[in-house]
Amino acid sequence: MTSRKGTKHTHNRRSEGQRLTKKERDDHFAAHLPSILQYHQLMLSDGVRNRALANAIKRAIKPGSHFLDIGAGTGVWAIMAAKLGAERVVAVEIEEALIPFIYKHAQENGVADRIEIIHGKSDDVKIRGRFDIIVSELFGSDAFGESVVRSFVDIRTRFLKPGGLLIPQSLAMYAAPAVVRSSVHDVPASLDLKFDFFRSVKLNYGQSIAFSEHPSVEFVADPIRLMQMDFSHLTPEDLPKEVSGSWKLRSLSKPNAIVTFCRSQFTDEIEMEGFDSQSWGTSFYTFAPLPKGPGVLNFRQSLDPEQMNWTVGVEGGPVQNFAPVFAFTRVRMSQKLTPHRRFRSKDKPKG
């Protein structure tokens, strides 16, 4: 149960084909359990998301329905499907720490004997039969990446019955120019100090806005759809390499960021606005001040997770280019030119 904001927890490996020892696995388990609990607390506390998904599942479940939850998390949707009378319910989860949560929660709700629990990655698991309804929120930070699409294609091809329902049906990315208040991204807060170097380097990374900080965001134009993925027929080859949008503004100098968020279509009648959800991430991309006066603001973003570059510019004017590699290069070059003394760690071997 992973949202765009979430980080998908996976099993650690030393190298390809080399498994961890039991102690290493236990250490990894113990180290990551707090963050897993914190993340799923966020998901479970998201009333907007929960109501939308619950309504979609309630409308979809019929007597005799076969229900599959891939990325089952703590088991909430599998349990709901079982309680609604689905004939067969299967919950698949890759994070081993969550497997006992699914079972314990199913026990608490009196449906433990009606849910088949599978620990594994969706691409690897083999499940008998096909399903009328599949719920899967396999969205990490690369919600619009090729790996997500490949997973959905595999799920659809191997597990969904002809005419079955895949939830969500589609996922769209929206964007709008906005004023993001200084309290969200200005540093150092409450101090009269110049930190332009830090801010200029940080511009090369998109940032997340916590749900509690949404009042600090003021859209200066209506959001537009940059792209949409329809999981019923989408293939990796259909994915664009980049997305772009333009807005005609009365005052180009007003916005200081482009805000992006998702809109998820669970069924034909039920959709969820990611901006209203605390577990689905809202991102913003700040830029240097633009010229005063009216004009057209252009935004372009690469969907390649290896690059993650974007541009902001005014039609007919210069373009601002941003990318993590620019930040890395600038900091590395500045490091070499910075007068400083260095002491090697005593624990570090010489050589």
Q: Quote the DSSP letter at residue 305.
A: T
Q: Which two tokens stand for residue 241?
A: 């390499």
Count other Cβ atoms within 10 Å, centred on residue 197.
11
d(CA 141, CA 2): 10
Query: What SS3 class is residue 329?
Result: helix
Name the domain boundary from 115, 138, 167.
167
- Are 90 and 227 in a shared domain? no
- Quick check: is 52 in a domain? yes
Compute the distance between CA of residue 300 and CA of residue 295 in angstroms, rounded to an integer: 17
Residues 325 and 178 in one domain: yes
Q: How far is CA 346 from the centre of its chain?
A: 41
Two tokens, residue 310: 């974007």
Q: Are residues 199 and 242 in the same domain?
A: yes
**Element of type H or E holding 184:** helix 182-185
CATH code where residue 64 lies: 3.40.50.150
Q: For residue 85, how far is the Cα from the chain centroid?
A: 31
3-state DSSP helix/strand/coil % of the chain, to nearest 5: 30, 30, 40
Could you list the residue range(s) of the whole structural domain that residue 305 is in?
A: 171-336
Q: Residue 73, Cα to own-chain centre: how many angstroms?
A: 15
Does the predicted TM-score (pTM) go above 0.75?
A: yes
Count, residues in the chain: 351
Report if residue 145 sits inside a domain.
yes
Count of the separate structural domains present in the chain: 2
Q: Which two tokens stand for residue 157?
A: 């091809």
For residues 317 and 221, membership in a common domain is answered with: yes
Residues 162 and 186 in one domain: no
User: Does residue 212 lie within any of the structural domains?
Assistant: yes
Residues whose CB falls within 8 Å of the CB of residue 318, separated by 6 or more in sequence, listed in order = none
85/223 same-domain check: no
Report DSSP state, residue 112: G
- The last residue of one of the domains, among 167, 184, 214, is 167
Are 176 and 302 in the same domain? yes
Catalytic residues: 137, 146
Angle among Cα 169, 174, 177 to the nearest 5 degrees reads: 170
- Contact assessment for residue 179 and residue 254, using Cβ atoms and an 8 Å cutoff: yes
Regarding whether 321 and 210 lie in a shared domain, the answer is yes
Instruction: Say if residue 181 is in the same domain as residue 321.
Output: yes
Give the bridge partners for 165, in sequence order: 133
| pLDDT tens, residue order, the chain (351 aa) | 334 344 444 444 444 446 789 898 888 889 999 999 998 998 898 888 999 999 999 999 999 999 999 999 999 999 999 999 999 999 999 999 999 999 999 999 999 999 999 999 999 999 999 999 999 986 655 667 778 888 889 999 999 999 999 999 999 999 999 998 865 556 787 788 999 999 889 899 888 876 666 678 899 999 999 999 998 888 888 888 999 999 999 999 999 999 999 899 998 899 888 777 766 778 889 999 999 999 999 999 998 877 789 999 998 888 999 999 999 999 999 999 999 998 987 765 555
Q: Which of 128, 144, 167 is the last residue of a domain?
A: 167
Show the tokens assigned to 346. 């005593």
* DSSP structural state of residue 75: S
Both 68 and 102 in a single domain?
yes
Give domain status of residue 19, yes or no: no
Q: Is residue 344 part of a domain?
A: no
168 preceded by a cis bond (ω within 30 of 0): yes
- Residues 150, 239, single domain; the answer is no
- CA angle (231 as vertex; 228, 233 as ends), nearest 5: 105
132, containing H or E segment = strand 131-136
Same domain, 321 and 201: yes
